[in-house]
C-alpha cells in the first residue's frame, strides 16, 4: 500500500480539546493541577490496518529468567517492566499481550521504511529460497546489483564500496583506511560522539557510559562539540532546522558568531592536542546518541578544510542520518555542504537486517589494499544485498525522503509549541525525521532534568502507546526517529501523548512527588 493511500485511510482520532491549557504551564512552581481538565484523558490512538496473531511463545516470566541467567548482565532494557515484543508492522509494534505501540525510535534508528514492510518481506523470502550465503570469494548478482544502486546515490569520487555488517565494524574499517592512506595515526572526534562500541571505535566514542579505565582506541582525541543549546555559544540563527534554540546571541541570519568561536576551539585542538599531521576527523552530520545535536551552519565545512590542511581525511558517519531521514538530502553530509573522503553507513541501510558499508574514493581504497588483504566473511552476503536493494527501491517508490521532510517539519513545529508551553522543555531541534527534545529543570538555568524524572515521562509515554528513545550526556533528551513512513495523524497522536506525559509530570511535581 502506498503512503498516499495510507494517509487517506487514516482520519485523525484525537479528542484533545479537553487537554488544552494556557502558557501558564511554563511558570514552574506557580502551576497547579486545579487548572487542568480531564488531566489523564488518554489520546485516542490512530487506527492500524493490521492485527497480529495471538502470542503463543514463552511466558513473560520465563523470558525474564532466561535473560537474567544467560544473556549479557549489562542493563539495556527500557522501562521499569521491559516490553516483550511480538510483532511489528510498518510504524507499529505489538507486545505479547496484544498492546499496540507507535514506534518513534525504530529499533534505535534502524527501521527505515517500516517494520516487516511487505516488499522487503517478499524480497527476503525469495532470496531465502535461492541463496543465503557464499562469502565474497564468489560472485553473485545481489551484491553487484546493490553496489551499482548505492554508488549511483553518492557523488564522485565516492564510488568504491566495502560491505560489512554493523556501524561499529564500518567505522573500524574507516579508521584503518584513514591511517593506511595518510600514514598518520591521530584521529579527532567530537565530545558526545558515538561511533561504535568495539575496542577500536571506543576511542572515537565520547559518551561517558561507553568509557572504561582500560586502554582502547589509541591515538584518538576529542574536541569540543559545537552544541548551540548547551555549549558556551549559540543562538537563534545557528541551526539548519525549522526550529531554532531560544537562546539569544549577536548572530545575524547571514553570520554565525557561534560558528566562528567553535571553529577557534577546533583549531586549538589541531594546534595543541594532535601531531602536526593527522589521519582524520570523524563526524556525524547530526549527533544521534548525544540527543540529536546540530552544529552551527557552515561549521563542518570549515572544520573539513582545517583537517585537510593537516593531511587528514574527513569521515562522515551516516549510520543514523543517511538514507533520506533528514528529508532535504539523501545523505546528512549533503545538508552540510561538504564532501567527505569516506562515508560509513549502517542501521537504516537494511531496515533492521544486519548490514553496513564503507564508501570511499578509489585512491583511498587502493591505499588500504596495499597495506592489508581486507576480508569479511559475511559482508555483502546475498540476503543482505537483496534486502538493501529493496530498501532503496521502497525509499524511492514511496517518496519516503520527501515524507521525512514534510512530516518531520510538521512535527518539529508542533513540538516547538510544547517547548513554548512547558518550562522543562528546554530545546526542540532536528531535521526531517531525526528530532531531539532536551529536558531541563528550567529554561533559565538549562540544567538537565534529573534522569529519574526523564525516565518517568518516558514510562508515561509508553503507557499511552508511544515509544521514544532517550539520549544525551545526562540522559536528559528524548530522541524521536520513527520509520520514515509515519504520517501526520500519527504525529498528532504522538505530540498529544507527550503533552499528556508532561502534564502528568507537572502534577506530580505540584503534589511534591
According to the model, what pLDDT value does residue 8 have?
44
Look up cell 581486507; give the residue.
Answer: 374
Q: Tell me: the pLDDT tens digits for 195-250? A: 999 999 999 999 988 888 888 889 999 999 999 999 999 988 899 999 999 998 87
pLDDT for the residue numbered 212 = 84
What residues contact 64, with CB distance under 8 A and at least 6 apart?
82
Whose cell is 522487503? That residue is 120
- DSSP 8-state secondary structure symbol assigned to residue 168: H
Is the pLDDT reported for residue 305 higher than 60? yes
Whether the predicted pLDDT of 39 surpasses 70: no
Place of cell 561507553: 210
Of residues 346, 320, 351, 322, the one with CA closest to residue 123: 351
User: What pLDDT was estimated at residue 40?
Assistant: 60
| Three cell numbers written together for 62 | 520465563
The residues facing 99 across adjacent strands are: none
Check residue 389 and report its DSSP letter: H
Distances (CA, A) of 213 to 192, 202, 203: 18, 12, 12
Rounded CA separation 120/137 (Å):
26
Q: What's the Cα-to-Cα distance from 408 to each of 349, 374, 431, 440, 454, rounded to whole Å?
A: 20, 39, 7, 23, 23
DSSP state for residue 429 in the 8-state scheme:
E
Taken as a whole, the chain contains a residue count of: 513
H or E stretch covering 121: helix 118-128
pLDDT of residue 77: 74
Residue 155 pLDDT grade (very low, low, confident, very high; cuts 50, 70, 90)? very high
What are 218's three cell numbers? 589509541
Instruction: Evaluate whether 346 touches 353 at the Cβ level (below 8 Å).
Output: no
Contact 449, 441 (CB under 8 A): yes
User: Using CA atoms, how far apart are residues 455 and 383, in angstroms rounded to an integer?
Assistant: 38
Q: How confident is the model at residue 513 (pLDDT cuts 50, 70, 90)?
A: low
Query: Is the distance from CB of 280 to CB of 182 less than 8 angstroms?
Result: yes
User: Is pLDDT above 60 for 37?
Assistant: no
Query: Average of pLDDT values for 122-151?
Result: 96
User: What pLDDT score was predicted for residue 251?
Assistant: 78
pLDDT band at 2 (very low <50, low <70, confident <90, very high): low
Grid-cell match 573522503, residue found:
341
Q: Is the pLDDT score of 72 beyond 50? A: yes
Residue closest to 347 by CA, chosen among 407, 285, 391, 296 = 391
Joined together, the cell numbers standing for residue 67 give: 535473560
Mean pLDDT of 467-472: 97
Query: What number is the average pLDDT over the span 3-13?
Result: 47
Is the model's pLDDT at 29 over the cut of 50?
no
Q: What is the mean pLDDT of residues 404-415?
A: 98
Over residues 433-458, mean pLDDT: 97
Work out the mean pLDDT of the chain and round it to a whole number: 92
Residue identified by cell 568509557 is 211
pLDDT confidence of 413, banded at 50, 70, 90? very high
Mean pLDDT of 265-279: 98
Contact present, 465 and 101 (Cβ < 8 Å) = yes
In this structure, how many other beta carbons lie within 10 angstroms of the beta carbon of residue 376? 16
223/264 Cα distance (integer angstroms): 11
CB 190, CB 206: distance < 8 Å: yes
Amino acid at each position: 500500500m502506498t503512503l498516499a493511500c495510507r494517509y487517506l485511510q487514516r482520519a485523525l482520532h484525537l479528542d484533545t480539546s479537553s487537554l488544552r491549557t494556557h502558557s501558564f504551564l511554563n511558570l514552574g512552581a506557580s502551576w497547579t493541577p486545579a487548572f487542568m481538565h480531564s488531566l489523564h484523558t488518554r489520546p485516542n490512538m490512530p487506527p492500524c490496518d493490521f492485527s497480529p496473531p495471538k502470542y503463543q511463545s514463552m511466558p513473560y516470566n520465563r523470558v525474564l529468567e532466561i535473560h537474567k541467567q544467560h544473556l549479557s548482565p549489562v542493563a539495556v532494557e527500557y522501562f521499569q517492566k521491559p516490553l516483550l515484543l511480538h510483532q511489528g508492522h510498518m510504524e507499529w509494534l505489538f507486545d505479547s499481550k496484544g498492546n499496540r505501540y507507535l514506534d518513534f525510535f525504530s529499533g534505535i534508528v534502524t527501521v527505515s521504511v517500516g517494520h516487516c514492510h511487505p516488499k522487503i518481506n517478499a524480497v527476503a523470502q525469495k532470496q531465502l529460497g535461492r541463496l543465503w550465503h557464499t562469502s565474497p570469494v564468489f560472485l553473485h548478482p545481489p551484491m553487484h546489483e546493490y553496489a551499482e544502486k548505492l554508488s549511483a546515490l553518492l557523488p564522485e569520487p565516492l564510488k568504491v564500496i566495502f560491505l560489512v555488517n554493523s556501524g561499529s565494524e564500518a567505522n573500524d574499517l574507516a579508521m584503518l583506511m584513514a591511517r593506511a592512506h595518510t600514514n598518520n595515526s591521530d584521529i579527532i572526534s567530537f565530545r558526545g560522539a558515538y561511533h561504535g562500541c568495539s575496542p577500536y571505535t571506543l576511542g572515537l566514542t565520547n559518551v561517558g557510559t561507553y568509557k572504561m579505565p582500560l586502554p582502547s582506541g589509541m591515538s584518538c582525541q576529542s574536541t569540543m562539540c559545537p552544541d548551540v543549546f548547551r555549549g558556551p555559544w549559540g543562538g537563534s540563527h545557528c541551526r539548519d532546522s525549522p526550529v531554532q534554540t531560544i537562546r539569544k546571541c549577536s548572530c545575524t541570519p547571514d553570520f554565525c558568531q557561534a560558528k566562528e568561536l567553535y571553529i577557534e576551539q577546533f583549531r586549538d585542538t589541531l594546534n595543541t592536542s594532535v601531531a602536526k599531521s593527522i589521519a582524520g576527523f570523524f563526524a556525524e552530520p547530526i549527533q544521534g546518541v548525544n540527543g540529536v545535536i546540530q552544529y552551527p551552519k557552515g561549521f563542518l565545512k570549515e572544520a573539513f578544510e582545517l583537517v585537510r590542511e593537516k593531511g587528514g581525511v574527513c569521515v562522515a558517519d551516516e549510520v543514523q542520518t543517511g538514507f533520506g531521514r533528514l528529508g532535504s538530502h539523501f545523505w546528512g553530509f549533503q545538508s552540510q555542504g561538504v564532501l567527505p573522503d569516506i562515508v560509513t553507513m549502517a542501521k537504516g541501510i537494511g531496515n533492521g537486517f544486519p548490514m553496513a558499508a564503507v564508501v570511499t574514493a578509489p585512491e583511498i581504497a587502493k591505499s588500504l589494499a596495499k597495506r592489508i588483504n581486507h576480508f569479511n566473511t559475511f559482508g555483502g552476503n546475498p540476503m543482505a544485498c537483496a534486502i538493501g536493494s529493496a530498501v532503496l527501491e521502497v525509499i524511492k517508490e514511496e517518496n519516503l525522503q520527501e515524507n521525512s521532510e514534510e512530516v518531520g517539519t510538521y512535527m518539529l513545529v508542533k513540538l516547538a509549541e510544547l517547548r513554548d508551553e512547558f518550562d522543562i522543555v528546554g530545546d526542540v531541534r532536528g531535521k526531517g525525521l531525526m528530532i531531539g527534545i532536551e529536558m531541563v529543570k528550567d529554561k533559565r538555568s538549562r540544567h538537565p532534568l534529573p534522569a529519574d524524572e526523564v525516565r518517568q515521562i518516558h514510562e508515561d509515554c509508553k503507557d499511552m502507546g508511544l515509544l521514544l528513545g532517550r539520549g544525551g550526556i545526562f540522559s536528559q533528551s528524548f530522541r524521536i526517529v520513527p520509520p520514515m513512513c509515519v504520517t501526520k495523524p500519527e504525529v498528532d497522536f504522538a505530540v498529544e501523548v507527550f503533552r499528556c506525559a508532561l502534564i502528568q509530570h507537572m502534577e506530580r511535581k505540584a503534589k511534591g512527588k
